[in-house]
Structure 1
Amino acid sequence: MNTPRIALLSEQKPAKLPDGWTRFSDLSDIVSVSVWDVVVIDQPYEVATESVFRLRCSSHYRYTLIYCRRSGDAPVVPLSDGPPPDDPEHIWSAWRQWSERMKAFNRGNPPEQFEERVLAWLWARPNALLEPQRDSKFYQFYRYPLLSAMVVDESVNQLVWLKLINEQGWLQPDELIDRIRLCSRCSSGRLNYVDVCPECNALDLVRQPSLHCFTCGHVASQESFLREGLLMCPNCLTRLRHIGSDYDRPLENYRCLSCQCFFVDADVEARCFDCDTRHSPDELKIREVRAFRLTENGRLRCRQGFAAGLQEAHFGRLNLIAMQAFNGLLDWQIQQSRRYGEMPKASLLLLKFSNLGETLDNTHRLALLDNLIDRIQETVRDTDRCSRSREDLLWFLLPNTDRDGMITLWQRLSGLTHLFQENDEFRIEIELAGYTLPDDLLPQEDAQLLMARLTGEVG
């Protein structure tokens, strides 16, 4: 189908509907069927927010393009794709791009598990963010509507899930939205901050001017020094005439009505409304509320599929190791090179593929990639270690390899481009860059800095 079927949800009937559009006044008429490719909602912000959430909870419209018309300064409706373009042809173009990405997701297999559903929604929208929404009814004040909508039969702790998926490298933190403090016992954000007496922790405090007698050192409220219109110390009965020589006004302007203590500043105590635990502010848990986006590793997983792990995908034949482990090995090799100087030598080689994304999207071109991977596997040694930091970047750590040995491998890998005929309408290009340790090391450079510098050489 060249043009999508578009449903318009609006209480008011427009003067004219574009071709291919059908108007509905009731959301249930849309949710009950799965025939609509795009949904456009024309409702007030609060109503539209609820409508979009219901559509996302439906298996028919979980990933569908949903546009919401805005009025005035109303924010973008959560989980929507923003306001609809003025030109209907732009909607058609966006829908065709969305369709292509959904076909490429998970090798054409529909998302099944919770994490697959979340990643599929983000994958279909290359610039989309997993964004938090403030909700005063929630005990931590922020929740992620997308995660709530993608839950089917699972029970998901959103914070724990985000931490785990972040550790796996599929999502990465983006913009910092807020920073909140939580109860150290129950993790609730419903806290009451109160001033308490630093001596007895009582709440009953009053602000009260006080005086300090220089003769005996007595400090008390100003009222207690007043006797028949004169200032007189209630402790030593000295008449106070001159401020600065007989008395002064101390900084202690607060008095506890429970223990009669005078003090400058009260202590602050945080009391949890949910479990009644009392904390000092430095005992509270601090949580940063952030948006999240797909990482390169996450996009790679979406493209290559979830049924088989990365080790079983095309590049898995190279015995890839995790990037964190690769960084650890490279850091160790850097330390070895610095400590022992010329021995042992080691090299780091980076191989960048161009047009790799187009290759993985086209099953007919996967044979080219398989052939290329086979040749790379024949070229590298069993002792070499390989990893991927991005979909198009392949790293080789070459122990006991000097510059001449690295250049030899470089030339062999560069020669693999001859596998593709000059008259092919599609080609996989290869770019390489490499360093030798310790010759090319900069002072204080570690694995991450070295890899970043090398990545810059291939663009």
Structure 2
Amino acid sequence: MSKQSVWVIKNTEVKLFFPLGIDDAILINDLPAKPPFALVLTKNSQQNWIDLLKEIRNKPGYRFIPVYYYDDVPAHLRHLFAGPADANLINSANKIYERISHISPFTFQSPNKESMLLAYLYTRPYCPVKGYKSDKSAFVYEYPLLNILFKDNLGIDNWKFLEGLVARNLLAHSDLIDEIETCPSCSSGLINLKRSCPSCRSINFKPQQLVHCFSCGTIAPVPEFLRQERLICSNCHTKLNTPGIDYEKPIENKLCNTCGHFFADPIVELVCLSCQRTSSANEFISKPLYNYHLTRQGEYVVLGIENSFYASFGQYFKMTDYPVFLSILNWHIKLAERYGLFNFSIMALEIDVKDREDESKKEQSKELIENLFTSLRQVIRESDLASRLDESMLFLLPYTKVDGCMIIVQRLQTAGQELVNAGTSTGLTIKVSYMASNEIISNALQGELVMAELKVRMQENNLCIIKNS
């Protein structure tokens, strides 16, 4: 990064004033090999913001450089920039570079899509992954940030990629934006509604009003019954004067031109325009569309401290997937409600190491956490279950009352005090909250409500084993 200048891409007659030098480039290829402090991007009416940004981001060394706009940018694309080119440019760019300095070297240099996205979101905490509907994509919904960061991203279902990161707690849903129906075969959202004859499946049919003669049972189109503007049965020649007595008009009001079948409602099917598969409406898969933001766990991956204590957690305790953990918790609640003698407790442990971003302190953080887990492992039984939700570590403790939880808390406090006495706890905050089954039942809590209550107690009760200092 060169801190001497801001480069403006594309000629503009508007003068920009910064306490730095300003250079300009007609083409992105004209930019220097060594990235400048920041870029200001303008375009003409024939150019596309996304294409220009993609070209910049794929230029070596320019993946995370702050890019500002000096033009009218559509609202749904503004999150792709560091902001407008105004008096706040230098301040906002410095904040980005400050966060870039915390990224682990492995993540910073990684060509992996996951690492690139997580690192970009970390350097721009105000920037979500936002999407919009587009008829140019087979998947109907575009995420422009992913198209900009990733090479050869055309034809890729970005929704699956993002939901995979959500499943691993690296990203989280922000806002529910919309919902689309997708093909069960290729996941395309480009579908066509097809109506056809129930008998032969031909699409060649037409509206046709019928008449049913009650005298002889003949059913035929209205024109066959019309004689001198009166309805007369073409078979028995009965005058059809009164509806409901002499005749009726059946609900079947369509005629197939291929097989001659009369019917009321056509077969409705959906045809995928990408793979041409024909499916019924209930076979199509509903896909909710969200905006996404980086989670605390995702930040830990970017900073290179994911393996320092979350991985250690999995090594010290038998991990259970969170959805399974939640199901077992709900089962325990039902057992405790039905059988009064059965009891359990649930505990949440949260470790904040946000001040441990310096590379020199990461090993120290890892050692501290492993010491705590060693102490905790001594009081956690084989029958106890462990899981993880974002930055919270969860324990389900069967046949454990409040006094059993206090034993665990006391063990953690002892280990924490040893760290304090040794002067190695600086920068760590460890919080604990817990609930016994009788509290859960009396408050009629289930699953996610229990998790929410643990989170609230952790904040309100402020039961800290070690407090950040």
Shorter-chain TM-score range: 0.7 to 0.9
Question: How do 1:314-325 residues align onto structure 2 when only pairs under 5 Å count?
Answer: 318-319=316-317, 321=319, 324=322
Deviation for aligned residue 1:232: 0.9
Q: Does the 8 Å contact 2:7/2:25 carry over to 1? A: yes
Matches of 2:190 and 2:152, distance apart in 1: 29
Q: Write out per-residue CA displacement over residues 210-233 of structure 1, whole angstroms, 9 at most, x where no aligned residue.
A: 333332343322211112333211
Cα separation, partners in 2 of 1:270 and 1:86, compared to 1, 3 Å: same
Deviation for aligned residue 1:80: 1.8
Deviation for aligned residue 1:364: 4.8
Question: How do 1:292-303 residues align onto structure 2 when only pairs under 5 Å count?
Answer: 292-303=292-303
Q: Which moved more, 1:170-179 or 1:146-155?
A: 146-155
Q: Write out per-residue CA displacement over residues 304-346 of structure 1, whole angstroms, 9 at most, x where no aligned residue.
A: 347x475556x66754735526546645654665565435x54
Q: Does the 8 Å contact 1:140/1:188 carry over to 2? A: yes
Q: Which moved more, 1:323-332 or 1:7-16?
A: 323-332
Q: Does the 8 Å contact 1:183/1:189 carry over to 2? A: yes
Residue of structure 2 equivalent to 1:64: 65
Q: 1:358 aligns to what SS in structure 2?
A: coil
Q: Write out per-residue CA displacement over residues 343-367 of structure 1, whole angstroms, 9 at most, x where no aligned residue.
A: 5x5433334456x312345745874
Matches of 1:425 and 1:85, distance apart in 2: 43
Matches of 1:11 and 1:85, distance apart in 2: 15
Q: Does the 8 Å contact 1:198/1:267 carry over to 2? A: yes
Opposite residue 23 of structure 1, the aligned amino acid is D
Q: 2:48 aligns to what SS in structure 1?
A: helix
Q: 1:139 aligns to what SS in structure 2?
A: coil
Deviation for aligned residue 1:412: 4.5
Residue of structure 1 equivalent to 2:28: 27
Matches of 1:181 and 1:365, distance apart in 2: 46
Residue of structure 1 equivalent to 2:200: 200
Are 1:218 and 2:214 counterparts? no
Deviation for aligned residue 1:276: 3.7
Deviation for aligned residue 1:303: 2.7
TM-score, normalized by length of structure 1? 0.81
Matches of 1:159 and 1:405, distance apart in 2: 44
Q: Does the 8 Å contact 1:388/1:395 carry over to 2? A: yes
Cα separation, partners in 2 of 1:372 and 1:222, compared to 1, 3 Å: closer
Matches of 1:242 and 1:333, distance apart in 2: 70
- Count of paired positions: 450
Are 1:247 and 2:247 counterparts? yes
Question: How do 1:5-24 residues align onto structure 2 when only pairs under 5 Å count?
Answer: 5-20=5-20, 21-24=22-25
Deviation for aligned residue 1:133: 4.5
Residue of structure 1 equivalent to 2:465: none
Q: Does the 8 Å contact 1:311/1:320 carry over to 2? A: no
Q: 1:71 aligns to what SS in structure 2?
A: coil
Deviation for aligned residue 1:104: 1.8
Residue of structure 2 equivalent to 1:121: 120
Cα separation, partners in 2 of 1:2 and 1:326, compared to 1, 3 Å: farther
Q: Write out per-residue CA displacement over residues 109-132 of structure 1, whole angstroms, 9 at most, x where no aligned residue.
A: 524122111211122222322233
Matches of 2:276 and 2:2, distance apart in 1: 61
Cα separation, partners in 2 of 1:216 and 1:128, compared to 1, 3 Å: farther
Q: Write out per-residue CA displacement over residues 379-423 of structure 1, whole angstroms, 9 at most, x where no aligned residue.
A: 5525346554343x44444455432232243344346358548x9
Q: Write out per-residue CA displacement over residues 117-170 of structure 1, whole angstroms, 9 at most, x where no aligned residue.
A: 121112222232223344434333334343344445999664543343333222
Question: How do 1:9-408 residues align onto structure 2 when only pairs under 5 Å count?
Answer: 9-20=9-20, 21-30=22-31, 33-44=33-44, 46-71=47-72, 74-77=74-77, 80-81=80-81, 83-84=83-84, 86-87=86-87, 90-106=88-104, 110-112=108-110, 113-151=112-150, 158-305=158-305, 308=307, 312=311, 318-319=316-317, 321=319, 324=322, 326-327=325-326, 330-331=329-330, 334=333, 337-338=336-337, 341-342=340-341, 345-353=343-351, 356-360=353-357, 363-364=360-361, 367=364, 370-371=367-368, 374-375=371-372, 377-378=374-375, 380-381=377-378, 383-384=380-381, 387-391=387-391, 393-408=392-407
Opposite residue 130 of structure 2, the aligned amino acid is E
Structure 2: segments with no counterpart, 5+ residues = 460-469
Opposite residue 100 of structure 1, the aligned amino acid is E
Matches of 1:427 and 1:120, distance apart in 2: 23
Deviation for aligned residue 1:240: 2.1
Q: 2:40 aligns to what SS in structure 1?
A: strand
Q: Does the 8 Å contact 2:344/2:398 carry over to 1? A: yes
Residue of structure 1 equivalent to 2:437: 437
Q: Does the 8 Å contact 2:305/2:362 carry over to 1? A: no
TM-score, normalized by length of structure 2? 0.80
Cα separation, partners in 2 of 1:35 and 1:56, compared to 1, 3 Å: closer
User: What CA RMSD, in Å, does the superposition of the two structures yield over aligned residues?
Assistant: 3.8
Q: 2:30 aligns to what SS in structure 1?
A: helix
Matches of 1:173 and 1:442, distance apart in 2: 31
Matches of 2:454 and 2:447, distance apart in 1: 11
Q: 2:101 aligns to what SS in structure 1?
A: helix
